[in-house]
Structure formats: C-alpha cells, structure tokens
Amino acid sequence: MRRFPFSTALAIATLGLLLAGARALRPAVKGPELAHAAALVDFDPTRVPFSPMVRHTEPESPVPLRPLLGSPLLDDSGGSLDHFYASLWRTEKGASGAVTRVVHYGDSPTTADLITGDVRAILQQRYGGAGHGFVLIGKPWAWYGHIGVELSSDGWEIAPATQFKARDGLFGLGGVSFTGAAGAESHIVFKDRRQTSFTVWFLIEPEGGVFTVSADGVQLGRVNTAGASRIAARTRFAVAHGAAALDIHVEEGPVRIFGISAEKSGPGVVYDSLGLNGASITVLSRLFNADHWAAELRERDPQLVIINYGTNEADFTAFIDRQYEGELRESIRRVRAALPDASILVMSPMDRGYRAEGGEIETMPNIPRLVAIQQRIARSTGCGFFNTFEAMGGEGTIGRWYNGQPRLVSGDFIHPTPGGGKLIASIFAREIGFGLNRFKLRQMLQSSAKAAVP
C-alpha cells in the first residue's frame, strides 16, 4: 500500500507559511513573499484585487495560502478541469505545437467580446498566442465584434440560432448561418497580421455554389460546395509568412458559411468567443442540431468548453422553476457526448440589476438563484464552476458599479463597460492561473508519493 508523503506536503506548506510570516513580522524588510512559494510549481500569478471595488494594497498580515489550497470563485474540485490544466501546462512549457483551445459560449456580453476579449489577451500574453480563433463572417447585430478584428460584409442572409430563421438547427460552431448568392462577400482584418492558417467552416449541399478565399489580396483557393447530401465541411488555407486580411467572395450561389478561424503555429492559446444576442441555455440544449454541433465541436477539439448563460433566463421565474436545471444538464450531456475528454466549465452570469420603487438599483432576485443552481449542477456533473457574480462582489454590486467612478456597467444594469469587463476578465484569468498552480502541486505530490514507494 502506497503511503501519502505527508512529510513532503508538510514541508511545502511550512515553507509557504514561513515566507508569509517573515514579511508579517518585519513588514519593512524587503524579503521573500508568498508569491515566491508559487515558483515551486513554476507559476507567477497575476496580482489583482479580489474585489474590483477595493483598491489593492500590500497586506499588513500574512497572505493566506489561497492560490494553493482552493478558491471560493473557481471550483475545480474532483479534477474537473485537469484535462484543460494538463494541456495548458504543456503549452506553458513551450512543447512543440502545444496549442490549448478554449470554446466560450455566452450571451450578449460575449457577443461584443466583452470579458472574453480581455481573457484571450491575458492568457495569450501569459502562455503564448496561437491565433485569434473563430469569427463570424458578418455582423448579425450592429454591436457584434471581436477585439483586434475589423469586420465588414454584404449580401448575406443571416440566420442566428436565437432568431429561429433556420429550422434545420445547422448553425455551425458559432451559432449563426450565412447564406449568400453570387456577389455576397466578407472582409475580415486582424490586427495581428501573423495569422498563418485560415479555416472556412461551411455546408456542402445539393446545388451548392462556389466561393473564393483570398488573403492580403492573393487568392488562396476556390471552393465548390455542391454535394449529394448536406454535411458540414471545412477547408484550410496556409499562409506561410502570415496575413492580416481575409476575403470571402461568392462566385455562384447559394453558398452557406458558418464562420472562419484564424490561427498561428503553437505553442499558445486559442480562445473562441461565441456569443449570441438574447441567448439562453436552450441554444445548446434545443436549438442546435445535436449531431451537427457535435461534429463541429469534435473538429474544433477544444480542451475546455465554457457554458456562460443565465442573464436572459433571469427574466423568467417559471422557466427557472420548471425547466432550467434540465436544460443545463442536457447541454452538458451534449458537450460531453461530443468531447468525452474535454473539461467543461459552467460560468455564472454577472450580477443583473433593476431600479426598485425607492430608486435604488438592486440585484434581480433570480440571479442568486441561478448561480446556486449552476454551482450545484456543475459539481454533480463533474464540471468546473466560476462564480462571476461573487467575483464582481455579490449582491448589490450592479448598483455600486453603476454609481461608481469610473462607471463599470451600462445603464441597462446588464452589460459591463469595457472597464468592467476587463476587471472580470482579470479575476477569471487569475483564478485559471491559481487552478493551474494547484494542478501542478498535485502532480508534484503524486510524483513524490510514487517515488517514496520502495
């Protein structure tokens, strides 16, 4: 029987306490800090405030061992995110071709790349960037956008899953179908012009048309979408020296396209922001054709899938009472059936407010209820859980954010300003780093336990 290496674990914990205690006893002395203890597992956590409304100051008392022992904001217990952490660690080590992909599904804040855009930037700065990721080829809503991307299009019939225009459930990875006749076109420009691989996601169908793809004005290829049956397809184009601008032009219609993805060679992170305006959990559980979506997910092969809904559901108490739990469980089941090995993270909605009779801005009562349901289901289904609501500050945060300076949420008491989105992103990325740190520590202890067995 293998014995747990209590001496090793005790030594690590003792070292952490000594490092923290030294600074507490002599605050003025420039000496080792607890952050150095994290270096034992090769991680340098980003230092941001736990509550965005409180200015971060150097602590007067010993820093708790929170990054090592767990977090009230990110629940990754039971190894729920280990597949993702293992991939991210390989990426961090710079292993050849080690790309960690994250697919983040959400509602309107995600549609504008709020929060997700900053998470992408932080993770790519820390672990390396392997390209921008998935982008729609047109704007289903005026405010659709991705940080670092300029997008214009013309001539497409656009059918988001949330508008019930396409009855077949075929919406690709991103939840929007674009159908174009001859002359339809899209122009996509990436701020980072080092994208070396472009993949167009489209549908083969009887009497399908033809489209061309060009990068920086040079045609890469001509794609015929005609086929005996309707089936999702992808075509990839390599640009050895990198490119910034991608153009899609329909020569013969009809052509049905779902989006494009832009990448670079690894190691690095790719973070897909897949937001739909007005979306709820039923997009994943009902509106997407299950087989089609599963095929798209398998082709994308993410190590982490984030399910981030709840803001819109908060308006419907009866739905929460009768259906919500079943819909969330079905969404998780669909993702797991498509990607048995991938990690899944349920990410709660932000605080959402309304103006009460006395004029105060208060938290909608259904928001805490939804967060509690999500946390319970995530734990029972082996998913990770991030508590965005508590990360912001919990009950009443929306009023403080609206009345504060600078204002961190818009006048609808729903959507964060860019500053508010960046604060949430910073906390989320920090918690991912802490989670990776815990994973490394567990791996080290397991290795030590195996080595201790004669």
**359 and 379 co-located in one domain:** yes
Does residue 100 sit in the same domain as residue 203?
no
Q: What is the DSSP letter of 34?
A: H
The answer to whether residue 13 is domain-embedded is no
- CATH of residue 350: 3.40.50.1110
> Does 157 map to a domain?
yes
- 119/143 same-domain check: no
Q: Are residues 436 and 290 in the same domain?
A: yes
Tens digits of pLDDT across the chain (454 residues): 444 444 444 444 444 433 344 333 333 334 444 333 343 333 333 333 333 333 333 333 333 344 445 678 999 999 999 999 999 999 999 999 899 999 999 999 999 999 999 999 999 999 999 999 999 999 999 999 999 999 999 999 999 999 877 789 999 999 999 999 999 999 999 999 999 999 999 999 999 999 999 999 999 999 999 999 999 999 999 999 999 999 999 999 899 999 999 999 889 999 999 999 999 999 999 999 999 999 999 999 999 999 999 999 999 999 999 999 999 999 999 999 999 999 999 999 999 999 999 899 999 999 999 999 999 999 999 999 999 999 999 999 999 999 999 999 999 999 999 999 999 999 999 999 999 999 999 999 988 887 777 7
Cβ pair 243, 191 in contact under 8 A: no
Q: Are residues 185 and 259 in the same domain?
A: yes
Domain of 254, in residue numbers: 132-264
403 and 297 fall within a common domain: yes
Specify the pLDDT at position 446: 86
Domain final position from 220, 242, 264: 264
In a domain? residue 47: no
Where a domain ends, among 207, 239, 264?
264
Position 398 in a domain: yes
User: How many domains does the chain divide into?
Assistant: 2
Flag whether 175 is in a domain: yes
**Same domain? 304 vs 433:** yes
Residue 283 lies in a domain: yes
Q: How far apart are CA 440 and CA 67, in angstroms?
A: 12
Predicted pLDDT at 69:
55
Tokens 């949330």 sit at which residue? 162
Residue identified by tokens 């490092």 is: 19
Question: Are 423 and 409 contained in the same domain?
Answer: yes
Write down the pLDDT at residue 451: 78
Domain boundary residue, one of 242, 264, 286: 264
Co-location of 378 and 285 in the same domain: yes
Name the residue with tokens 């048995």.
340
* Structure-token pair, residue 331: 């969404």
How far apart CA 374 and CA 386 sit, in angstroms, is 10
Domain-embedded: residue 45:
no
Distance CA 102, CA 301 (A): 9
Say whether both 260 and 274 belong to one domain. Answer: no
Residues 306 and 176 both lie in one domain: no
Task: Note the pTM of the prediction, 2 decimals.
Answer: 0.85
* CATH number reported for the structural domain that contains residue 241 in this entry: 2.60.120.1360
Q: Are residues 303 and 440 in the same domain?
A: yes
Identify whether 293 is part of a domain.
yes
| Structure confidence at residue 342 (pLDDT) | 98
